[in-house]
Structure 1
Amino acid sequence: MTTATAADREMAARQRAIWATGDYPTVASDVVSPLGRVLVEASAIGPGDRVLDVAAGTGNAAIPAAAAGARVLASDLTPELLEVGRATAAEHGLEIEWAQADAEALPFVDNEFDAVISCVGVMFAPHHQRSADEMVRVCRPGGTLAMINWTPEGFIGQMFVTMKRFMPAPPAGVQAPPLWGNEDHVTALLGDRVADLALQRRTLTVDLFGTGEEFRDFFKANYGPTITSYRSIETDADRVAALDDALAELGRRFLTGSSTMQWEYLLVTARKK
C-alpha cells in the first residue's frame, strides 16, 4: 500500500478543488453517462462480484455495476461528487459503499476485489504508474481490470491539448491524462502483471451541442479542468478571447457540419495474473 507524502497530499488537494469546481455531475449525466454501462458490460460484472470503482465521481460505472447485482465500493478524491452519487444510488434503490480515496494510495488491502474498474476517472490522477500499480494491487489474482479512457487523438484529448497552451506548466512528474488512451502507454503501465489484455478504440456519440460555441460554453460553465484553465488567464482579456475562439473551433471541427460529435475512447480489459 502506497503512503502519500506531503507533496502528494498537496497535489491531491489541488485535484479535489478542480473537480469540485463547476458542475461535473451535469457533465456526467448529460454527456458521458452511457460509458458506465459499456464498461460494466465489458467487465462481465455480475451478481455477488466485489467491485471497486476507482475515481468513481458520481458513480457513472458504480451504479450500473450495483444494478447488475455486484457488491460495489465507489471511491473518489472529491467528496462533493460522492455525495451526488450516494443520492442517485438511493433514488434507484441501490446499495453502494462510498469512500473518499486517492487513486494513487488506495486504502484497501491487497487482492481485495474481484473487479477493479474506472470510467474516465483514474486517467486524471497525476502519476500514472502509481495509480496503475494500485489498481493491480487491490485486484485479486484472476480478477478483472477494466477502464475507459479518452484517447489523445479524440475530442477530449484534443480539448486538453487546446487548453494546455493557456495554462502554466504542470509540476514535474505529472503526466497528461489522455496518455491513458494510448495503447502502448497502457500496456507499459500494466506490464506482465496481467493477461488477456484487450484494447479497443470506440466512440461515444454526443448530440448535446449544435455549435462549437455551445460546446465551449457548456464546458466553460460546468467542467472543472476547463474552468481552471480560464481562471489561470482571467486577468488577460486577449488570452481569454483566444481560448474562447480555440475551443469553439475545436467544437466546430468535430461537428463537421452535423449535429453530433464522435468522442473516441479506449476500452481496456485485462485479467490479473
Structure 2
Amino acid sequence: MTPTTTPTTTPTTTDTIDDRALKARHRAMWALGDYPRVAAELIAELGPAMFAPHHQQAVDELVRACRPGGTIALLNWTSDGFVGEMFRALGPYAAPPPTGALSPVRWGDDRYVRRLLGDRVTDVAATPGVLRVDRFPTPQTWRDHWKTVDGPTIATYRALGADPDEVAALDRDLAAVATRFDRGTSGTVLPWEYRIHTARRVG
C-alpha cells in the first residue's frame, strides 16, 4: 500500500490559553477516571495518548467514552520510522520514566493496538501515512528547532543540566537520526511515518 502524503508542515507550539486550559481539564479528568459517558459518534485520539504511561488504561477510556456503533480513531508514529528512532535517541539521556510506564513507540505497532482494543471493537483498519517535513536546510537546523519546541526533547535536555559533554552527545545523536532519514537533495526532507487505526465500537 502506498503511504498517504500529507501537506508539508513544521511542528509548532501555538496553543491559546483556552486550548491549554481545555487540555489541562482533560488531563485531570483522565487521571481521575472521570471522562463523561458521552454518546460520542467519533472519538479521535491524535497523538497524546501515546504518552500515557499505561496504554491499556488509555484505550479502555477511549472505548468507554465512545457510544456503541461509534468510531474510534488513533493516529500514532510508527516504532521503526523517524519519530520512533528519535525517541530511541533521546532514551539514554532522559530521566527514568515512572514505574510501569510503557514506551510510546509501541502505539505504532498494528498488532499491539489491535490487542489493546480487543473484542470490544470491530472493523479495525490500519492506514499508513507519511508527514513530509521539509522546512529545514540541514539536519542540524531541524535539531536546533526541535529542541526548543518539543516537550519530551526539551525535558531531556533540561535533565542534562549544564553538562556540556552530554548536551553535545545528544546533539550529535539527534542530528545523526535526522541525517540517516534525510531524503532531500537541496535541503533536508524528513519523512515522519505514522499509522491511523480506526475501529467501530460494538454493543
TM-score band by shorter chain is: 0.7 to 0.9
Q: Deviations over 1:155-204 (max 9, x none)?
A: 11111100001123212210111111111110111100000000122111
- For the 8 Å contact 1:118–1:146, the answer to whether it is kept is yes
1:77-135 Cα distance to aligned partner (Å, 9 max, x none): xxxx462648xxxxxxxxxx946112454533335311101112211111111110000
Separation in structure 1 between the aligned mates of residue 31 and residue 180 of structure 2, nearest angstrom? 35
d(CA) in 2 for partners of 1:223, 1:251: 15
Counterpart pick for 1:101 among 7, 19, 26 = 26
The one of 75, 84, 87 equivalent to 1:160 is: 87
Q: Does 1:125 align with 2:125?
A: no
Q: Is 1:262 the equivalent of 2:191?
A: yes
Deviation at 1:206, TM superposition (A): 1.1
In structure 2, what is the equivalent of residue 147 of structure 1?
74
2:128 to 176, 201, 226: 201
In structure 2, what is the equivalent of residue 83 of structure 1? Answer: 17
Distance in 1 separating the partners of 2:32 and 2:140: 39
Q: Relative to structure 1, is the Cα distance of residues 111 and 186 closer, same or farther in structure 2, using a 3 angstrom cutoff? A: same
Q: Relative to structure 2, which stretch is displaced further, 139-148 or 115-124?
A: 115-124
Structure 1 runs not aligned, ≥5 long = 1-28, 34-56, 59-80, 87-96
Q: Which amino acid aligns with 2:26?
A: A
Greater RCO, 1 or 2 (C-alpha within 8 Å, sep 6+): 2
Partner SS for 2:67: strand
Distance 1:186 1:172, change over 3 A: same
The CA deviation at 1:154 is: 1.1
1:213 aligns with 2:140: yes
Q: Structure 1 residues 186 and 261, CA, compared in 2 at 3 Å: closer, same or farther? A: same
Deviation at 1:247, TM superposition (A): 0.6
Q: 1:243 to 1:162 in 2, by over 3 A?
A: same
The answer as to 2:118 corresponding to 1:191 is yes
Number of equivalenced pairs: 190
Which residue in the other structure is 1:271 paired with?
A: 200
Letter in 2 for 1:134: E
Structure 2: 5+ residue stretches without partners: 1-7
Structure 2 counterpart of 1:168, one-letter code: A
TM-score by length of structure 1 reads: 0.64
Taking every aligned residue pair, what percent have the same amino acid on both sides? 39
Q: Is contact 1:162-1:246 (8 Å) kept?
A: yes
* Equivalent of 1:224 in 127, 151, 156: 151
Query: Deviation string for 1:234-268 (max 9, x for gaps)?
Result: 23211111000111111111114433211100111
Provide the TM-score with structure 2 as the length reference: 0.85
Counterpart Cα distance in 1 of 2:92 and 2:191: 23
Q: 3-state DSSP class of the match of 1:208? A: strand
- Report the AA paired with residue 144 of structure 2: D
Query: What letter matches 1:268 in structure 2?
Result: H
Query: Would the alpha carbon gap of residues 201 and 104 (structure 1) be closer, same or farther in structure 2, given more than 3 Å must change?
Result: farther
Q: Cα 1:106–1:210, aligned 2, differ >3 Å: closer, same or farther? A: farther
